[in-house]
């Protein structure tokens, strides 16, 4: 479990912290008795009982009868999955997803809709139209919605929620938070996709129990979500983690950001397509793959043993290692988690990373680099977790700076 930093603890009253602790325990270990909650939390029984009364009243927890094992019968409590619902919105380059999750953060329904380039107003209208349909699909009434969060593949200014730049969507300085909040008639905080994915990874995925880790998206672009000492790290305006635009070659290919030789021009879907085209003269398999080369087909060829396709993923991994090395040298994380389209051949990509890392860092050997078990849903699940943070207030990841932003 991620421990709150001192600052975080100071931002919440002890009562709030205890309440979060008890709620986390009920969620993880329920059905559970008050006695066991007291034992596991280290709180006194009267304190636990008072908190449970509050949680029963709010509906977050319910009484599910008695247990008697030898001694006196004890009332058992469990987390009420139906007590609240949360809205997660992912605006992707190709698809926009609107999803409804239960109080535990499990997806109950989702609707996918093709994204529209260069028209953020239209995207907001599409989302507003999808909302009642996805609620109907989930069977959850709108009045039970307790929070929402949207994510985008681009720079999000904090705390305004203005999407300053999303090159792959063709957006510039769009007030997404304000527009979505107005259209959906509720507060909709906005985050950058890898930041949200990092939150999901810490609560549900490979980074559970880790206080310092980085989550890196390697797909249409490259970007990182940074968790440092149990907190999401945003930087001054929220633009942290843009490792895709670290320059790795002075005379490299032009990048969407207007510069040349950025990391993402060497390790992204576009870079793989370019490499596959360049290599197709030398490989029958690559030549046989349809144009434009699709990453899934290329990954399948690599996994089937085609040396040309394998080499492309190994090279992409070796380039990615340069960006990862910067984060390892600066942040000294416990774990690196990778997600995104290039993970379709994760073992080969990661082998390329591992082979190259020692050339760029002083101590790389002991930091695990793993593929996200959450797959393509990492960002969306992160949006749901961030929507929940405003009301459920788990202690597992305590981004209090996030909470201040998402308070209505």
Residues contributing to the site for Zn ion (CB under 5 A): 245, 255, 257, 262
Comparing CB distances to Zn ion, the nearer of 225 and 244 is: 244
Q: Whats the size of the chain, residue-wise?
A: 408
182 bridge partner residues = none
DSSP H/E element including 290: none
CB 381 within 8 A of CB 105: yes
CB 102 within 8 A of CB 62: no
As measured in angstroms, the least distance from the Cβ of 200 to Zn ion is: 26
As measured in angstroms, the least distance from the Cβ of 294 to Zn ion is: 23
Comparing CB distances to Zn ion, the nearer of 113 and 260 is: 260
Comparing CB distances to Zn ion, the nearer of 180 and 262 is: 262
Q: Give the C-alpha separation, 40 to 22, whole Å.
A: 9
Residue with tokens 């980085």: 214
Comparing CB distances to Zn ion, the nearer of 98 and 262 is: 262
As measured in angstroms, the least distance from the Cβ of 198 to Zn ion is: 21
Comparing CB distances to Zn ion, the nearer of 262 and 380 is: 262
Question: Both ends of the chain: CA-CA distance in Å?
Answer: 28
* Lateral strand order in the sheet of 32-33: 32-33, 74-79, 61-67
As measured in angstroms, the least distance from the Cβ of 259 to Zn ion is: 5
As measured in angstroms, the least distance from the Cβ of 258 to Zn ion is: 7
As measured in angstroms, the least distance from the Cβ of 249 to Zn ion is: 12
As measured in angstroms, the least distance from the Cβ of 223 to Zn ion is: 11
Structure tokens at 323: 């960006």
Comparing CB distances to Zn ion, the nearer of 101 and 262 is: 262
Task: Of 185, 232, 152, give the one whose Cα is nearest residue 408.
Answer: 185
Comparing CB distances to Zn ion, the nearer of 19 and 245 is: 245
Q: Residue 218: CA atoms inside 13 Å, Cβ hemisphere, count?
A: 33
Look at residue 100 and give its three-state secondary structure: strand
Q: Give the C-alpha separation, 190 to 155, whole Å.
A: 10
Q: Residue 79: CA atoms inside 13 Å, Cβ hemisphere, count?
A: 20
């Amino acid at each position: 479990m991620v421990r709150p930093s001192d600052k975080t603890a100071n931002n919440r009253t002890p009562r709030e912290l205890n309440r979060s602790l008890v709620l986390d325990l009920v969620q993880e270990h329920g059905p559970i008795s008050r006695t066991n909650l007291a034992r596991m939390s280290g709180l006194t029984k009267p304190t636990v009982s008072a908190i449970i009364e509050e949680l029963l009243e709010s509906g977050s927890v319910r009484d599910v009868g008695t247990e008697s094992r030898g001694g006196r019968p004890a009332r058992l409590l469990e987390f009420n999955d139906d007590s609240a619902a949360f809205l997660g919105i992912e605006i992707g380059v190709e698809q926009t997803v609107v999803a409804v999750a239960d109080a535990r953060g499990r997806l109950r329904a989702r609707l996918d809709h093709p994204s529209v380039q260069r028209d953020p107003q239209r995207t907001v209208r599409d989302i507003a139209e999808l909302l009642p349909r996805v609620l109907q699909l989930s069977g959850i009434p709108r009045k039970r919605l307790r929070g929402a969060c949207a994510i985008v593949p681009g720079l999000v200014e904090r705390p305004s929620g203005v999407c300053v730049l999303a090159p792959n969507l063709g957006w510039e300085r769009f007030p997404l938070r304000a527009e979505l909040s107005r259209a959906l008639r509720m507060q909709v905080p906005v985050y950058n996709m890898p930041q949200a994915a990092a939150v999901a990874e810490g609560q549900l995925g490979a980074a559970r129990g880790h206080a310092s880790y980085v989550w890196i998206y390697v797909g249409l672009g490259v970007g990182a979500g940074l968790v440092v000492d149990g907190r999401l790290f945003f930087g001054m305006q929220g633009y942290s983690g843009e490792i895709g635009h670290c320059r790795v070659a002075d005379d490299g290919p032009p990048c969407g950001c207007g510069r040349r030789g950025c990391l993402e021009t060497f390790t992204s879907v576009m870079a793989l397509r370019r490499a596959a085209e360049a290599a197709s003269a030398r490989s029958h398999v690559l030549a046989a793959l349809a144009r434009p080369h699709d990453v899934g087909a290329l990954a399948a060829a690599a996994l089937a043993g085609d040396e040309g396709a394998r080499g492309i993923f190994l090279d992409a991994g070796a380039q990615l290692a340069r960006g990862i090395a910067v984060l390892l040298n600066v942040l000294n994380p416990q774990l690196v988690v990778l997600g995104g389209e290039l993970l379709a051949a994760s073992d080969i990509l990661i082998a390329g990373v591992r082979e190259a890392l020692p050339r760029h860092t002083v101590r790389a050997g002991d930091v695990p680099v793993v593929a996200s078990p959450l797959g393509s849903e990492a960002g969306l699940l992160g949006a749901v977790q961030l929507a929940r943070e405003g009301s459920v207030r788990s202690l597992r990841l305590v981004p209090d700076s996030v909470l201040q932003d998402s308070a209505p």
